[in-house]
């Protein structure tokens, strides 16, 4: 019964790291997983998270995980505190299982309104780690084996004691008086803001001030403006508003970095 179910629903593990693809570190993790659970479907969210950038990893996971089946195991290893006292955790939810360091990489997912934590544990049981754990590569020696054993059907409590007070992150903390922030910049140079369509209200008369440039309306898509023109629109990352240049790179053209502010006026938000 379990076997036939597995044939129809093979386990899925997604990997998200800041390792890049160059050095074979992710390749080693994949080997560990295939060794333990050969029938896993292995897929990648990103391996080009900027080194040690926990918030970027949290955002990439946040915008992508919801498109996977709820039995998917999301293994995230952006782990500047590897080998220190930060906890290694596995978190079971109604929208996916999350494996990685408790350092904030799951912080946005855990704060999402449409996800419920079922159970979380600390990964302390050496039976589900590699025999030799190197202090600088828990991705390979602790997290990949944990994900693979979960994929293979090991129950969460087997991995270690309950974990509470998991680190959560918040988009809203710096948003006030119509000032919002750039929380992520993607490959195209599009600026993703910490406000969503829900925050904007119904008025189309919203004005965005970014650097010394002003955008006086909300567009629907890139092709609504001319090539090279600046636009704001409700983007594809869970309704977050974005600022872009059609067929251009807004971040470069405007000199904007993550954390920079954008002013929004003439909407319910500015009230």
Interface residue with its own copies among 24, 153, 157, 204 (CB under 8 A) is 24
Distance CA 232, CA 217 (A): 7
Residue 106 C-beta: closest distance to its own copies, Å: 14
**Per CB under 8 A, does 252 bind its own copies?**
no
Residue 224 C-beta: closest distance to its own copies, Å: 8
Q: Which is nearer to its own copies, 65 or 159 (CB)?
A: 65
Ordered DSSP codes for 176-198: BTTEEEEEEE-TT-PEEEEEEHH
Which residues, numbered 72-101, are part of the site for its own copies (CB under 8 A)? 72, 80-84
Residue 269 C-beta: closest distance to its own copies, Å: 21
Residue 157 C-beta: closest distance to its own copies, Å: 27
CB-neighbour burial class of residue 84 (10 A; exposed 0-12, middle 13-18, buried 19+): exposed
User: Which residues face 207 on adjacent strands?
Assistant: 265
Which residues, numbered 141-160, are part of the site for its own copies (CB under 8 A)? 141
8 Å CB contact between 111 and 99: no
Q: Which is nearer to its own copies, 156 or 222 (CB)?
A: 222
Residue 183 C-beta: closest distance to its own copies, Å: 13
Which residues, numbered 157-216, are part of the site for its own copies (CB under 8 A)? 184, 186-188
User: For its own copies, which stretch binds (CB under 8 A), given 118-126, 156-164, 175-183, 242-250?
Assistant: 242-250
- Identify which of 153, 124, 151, 129 has the alpha carbon closest to the alpha carbon of residue 141: 129
Residue 200 C-beta: closest distance to its own copies, Å: 15
Enter the DSSP assignment of 139. I
8 Å CB contact between 99 and 45: no
Interface mask (CB under 8 A) for its own copies, residues 36-75, using x and -?
--xx-xxxxxxxxx-xx-------xx-xxxxxxx--x---
Which residues, numbered 96-125, are part of the site for its own copies (CB under 8 A)? none
Residue 121: its H or E element: strand 117-122
Interface residue with its own copies among 201, 223, 257, 265 (CB under 8 A) is 223
- Identify which of 136, 153, 130 has the alpha carbon closest to the alpha carbon of residue 37: 153
Rounded to 5 degrees, what are φ and ψ at 52? 70, 15
User: For its own copies, which stretch binds (CB under 8 A), given 163-171, 175-183, 227-235, 255-263?
Assistant: 227-235
**How many other β-carbons are positioned within 10 Å of the β-carbon of residue 60?**
23
Residue 177 C-beta: closest distance to its own copies, Å: 28
Distance CA 118, CA 239 (A): 26
């Amino acid at each position: 019964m379990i076997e036939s179910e597995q044939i129809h629903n093979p386990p899925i593990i997604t990997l998200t790291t800041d390792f890049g693809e160059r050095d074979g570190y992710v390749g080693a993790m994949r080997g560990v997983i295939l060794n333990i659970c050969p029938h896993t479907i292995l897929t990648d969210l990103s391996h080009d998270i900027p080194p040690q950038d926990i918030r970027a990893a949290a955002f990439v996971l946040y915008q992508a995980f919801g498109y996977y089946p709820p039995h998917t195991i999301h293994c995230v290893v952006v782990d500047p505190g590897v080998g220190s006292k930060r906890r290694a955790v596995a978190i079971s939810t109604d929208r996916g299982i999350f494996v990685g360091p408790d350092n904030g990489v799951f912080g946005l997912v855990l704060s999402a309104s449409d996800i419920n934590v079922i159970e979380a544990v600390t990964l302390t049981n050496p039976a589900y780690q590699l025999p030799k754990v190197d202090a600088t590569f828990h991705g390979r020696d602790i997290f990949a084996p944990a994900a693979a054993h979960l994929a293979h059907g090991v129950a969460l409590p087997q991995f270690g004691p309950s974990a509470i007070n998991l680190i959560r992150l918040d988009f809203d903390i710096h948003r006030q008086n119509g000032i919002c922030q750039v929380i992520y910049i993607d490959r195209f140079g599009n600026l993703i803001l910490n406000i969503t369509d829900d925050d904007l209200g119904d008025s189309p008369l919203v004005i965005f001030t970014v650097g010394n440039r002003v955008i006086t309306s909300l567009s629907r898509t890139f092709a609504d403006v001319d090539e090279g023109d600046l636009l704001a629109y409700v983007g594809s990352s869970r309704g977050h508003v974005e600022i872009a240049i059609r067929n251009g790179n807004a971040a470069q053209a405007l000199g904007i970095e993550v954390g920079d502010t954008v002013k929004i006026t003439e909407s319910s938000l500015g009230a």
